[in-house]
Structure 1
Amino acid sequence: MLNEYLRRHDGVITLAQARSVGLSRQSINRRVHAGLWRQCSRGVYFVDDRPFTDAARIRAAVWAFGAHATASGLAAAWWQGLARFAPAVVEVTVPRNSSGRARSGARVRRRDLAPADIEAVRGLRVTALPLTAIEAAVRGRGGRSVMDRALQQDAELRQLWAAQLRNKGRYGAPAARRLLQEASDGAHSAAERLLVTLLKGAGLTGWRTNRRVGRYKADVLFVKAKVVIEVDGWAFHVDQESFQTDRRRQNDIALLGFQVLRFTWLDLAEYPERVLATIRAAIRA
């Protein structure tokens, strides 16, 4: 039972957890003194027969602040697959009345989270995906990509807005509100939002975002002209499987009688006039 517990929890275990699987305090101390277990903080241990991974580091940092501590910010984003790299400093949210002190490698935020803003992922309390997305999006560089990944997963824009409104007084709330306002036109990726900005700035009308065409949702659809625009953003669509899926999707839409245009982030950012000329030619045809 102990080995299975350690396997599922990256080799990290608390005193209470160890006691629950039958270990006494004396047997835990013997393991520490023998160098088999490393004490990360008071009541939190790492079994030193495996690499101390980023997952172990984040889990140990959160558990060091007690049972009601929650990973938040970029730490939660990495844990939930929204960020590619684990942060060097682990952000931990604890209740306002918590007595926990700051520790090396961790940044403490004191606030009372609503139950809707907490979830358990692989046995660790983290901020729920919508709150994670809007908080991590304003931490460091590449923030928009974090929100993009959340929207491309299971999160919906209305859920992100609800999390924003429940946590209006937090650090970074104004910047997150601006990102949500940018996304409110229905474009889920930074590249899609850039395309929408170009279309609006050029005065082009008759288009809608994320409208169904057959069994797919087109990024942008010119309804009367039957022109579909698909955007390859820089935050996702990077693996071979996604590449093949996108091409199959494009062919299926074309077979329904729609002209399909594809643009990349580079097209939109560096050659906007060329993009607009192509779109104008397509909708006039």
Structure 2
Amino acid sequence: MTDTPARPASPPARLRHRTADPLETVIAAQDGLVTRAQALAHGLSTDQVDRRLAARRWVPVHPCVYRHADHPPGERARVRAAVLWAGQGAVLSGAAAVWWWGLGDAAPAVVTVTVPRRRAPRPRAGVVVRRRDLDPADVGAHDGLALARPAAAVLEAAADPSVAADALLDRVLADRSGRAPTAAELARAHARSLGAHGSAAVGRLLAGASRRLAARTRHALRALLTGGGVRGWRTDVVVAGVPLDLAFPAARLCVEVPVGAGPATGDGCGGAWRHAVLRRNGWRTVVVEPAELRRPDDVLARLREALTGLPAGPGGSAVRAAG
């Protein structure tokens, strides 16, 4: 994942410090935006709202969504305004949600919002409206905005023809900051969307990205073992017809990097039948998930423990064995 992109500055001091008025507090918290419904709920009359619009104190952005003139226009306000305009139950989705979570470099020119099927807002320039009842597990909140959670947002963005899907998925899966969704989280989010428009194509994209991630992880793991002074490992070992990508033959230990979500789902020594063959031949399997390389010292400690049979000590963790 990239660093959180630079975004418009916080509200000006004259707006930020004028907190006696609850409505202005709402405006400051919403990147300078307010809806007509919010203004009426905070005690303004329709005439008072119209006078502020006529005096250009409030500037229309969308129907019934206004920007305070003291707050400069910006990307955050543009994206938030689309969700405010879409109304009750609207959720920021796709590439715009990816950007809002800090997983993208720039906000997309067109903002996608998802609304419940029972609602059908009319289209607006710069806003795409999807009618879909989202799984609650895929909806979250960030900076005061309802939006798709990171895994769902990334998959929605990958389905957008204007997005470079392979590059997005590779970048997200390669991120080691702990903020981006993991391969397992993406797979679970995809499972919840099965049957939705474009889900099959996204599944193929995700499978390809997972295979590329596994290949990069194996390369990184070999580099980690070399740098950590761990010896005795070999690549491309075959045991009773089962190919192993990385193994310690003397210790009869296979190290597996799975493809996709969860252990033992892909190449290397993955698959129940492979584990059965390995067990019959006296081999053990240690699974290293790509996300675990965020903590390389822990990975080395686990492998040393598996090789020696000695506890890893403080900071170490038990070996995850698949067989």
Say whether the fold is shared (TM-score over 0.5). yes
* Secondary structure of 1:22's aligned partner: coil
Matches of residues 1-285 of structure 1 in structure 2 within 5 Å? Answer: 1-139=22-160, 140-141=163-164, 142-144=167-169, 145-149=171-175, 152-153=178-179, 155-182=181-208, 187=213, 191-192=216-217, 204-206=245-247, 207-208=255-256, 209-210=288-289, 216-217=298-299
Count of residues in correspondence between the two structures: 227
Once the two structures are superposed, residues 127-163 of structure 1 have per-residue CA deviations (whole angstroms, 9 ceiling, x without a partner) of 1222112222344123222454498316343332222
C-alpha change, 1:44 and 1:153, in structure 2 (3 Å) is: same
Once the two structures are superposed, residues 10-33 of structure 1 have per-residue CA deviations (whole angstroms, 9 ceiling, x without a partner) of 011112222232222221111100
Query: Is residue 92–residue 147 contact of structure 2 (8 Å, CA) maintained in 1?
Result: yes
Aligned to 1:268: none
* Secondary structure of 2:86's aligned partner: coil
Bigger CA drift: 172-181 or 20-29? 172-181
* Secondary structure of 2:113's aligned partner: strand
Alpha-carbon deviation of 1:175? Answer: 3.4
Query: Is residue 172–residue 181 contact of structure 2 (8 Å, CA) maintained in 1?
Result: no
Aligned to 1:271: none
Query: Is residue 113–residue 127 contact of structure 2 (8 Å, CA) maintained in 1?
Result: yes
Q: Write the distance in 2 (CA, Å) between the matches of 1:103 and 1:111.
A: 18
Query: Is residue 59–residue 124 contact of structure 1 (8 Å, CA) maintained in 2?
Result: yes
Bigger CA drift: 206-215 or 67-76? 206-215
User: Percent identity, aligned pairs only?
Assistant: 35
C-alpha change, 1:149 and 1:79, in structure 2 (3 Å) is: farther
Once the two structures are superposed, residues 199-222 of structure 1 have per-residue CA deviations (whole angstroms, 9 ceiling, x without a partner) of 77996421343468785346x979
TM-score, length basis structure 2: 0.59
Once the two structures are superposed, residues 149-195 of structure 1 have per-residue CA deviations (whole angstroms, 9 ceiling, x without a partner) of 4983163433322221111133432233234434657958x843776
Q: Write the distance in 1 (CA, Å) between the matches of 2:82 and 2:59.
A: 14
TM-score, length basis structure 1: 0.66
Q: Which runs of 5+ in 1 are unaligned?
A: 227-255, 257-285
* Secondary structure of 2:128's aligned partner: strand
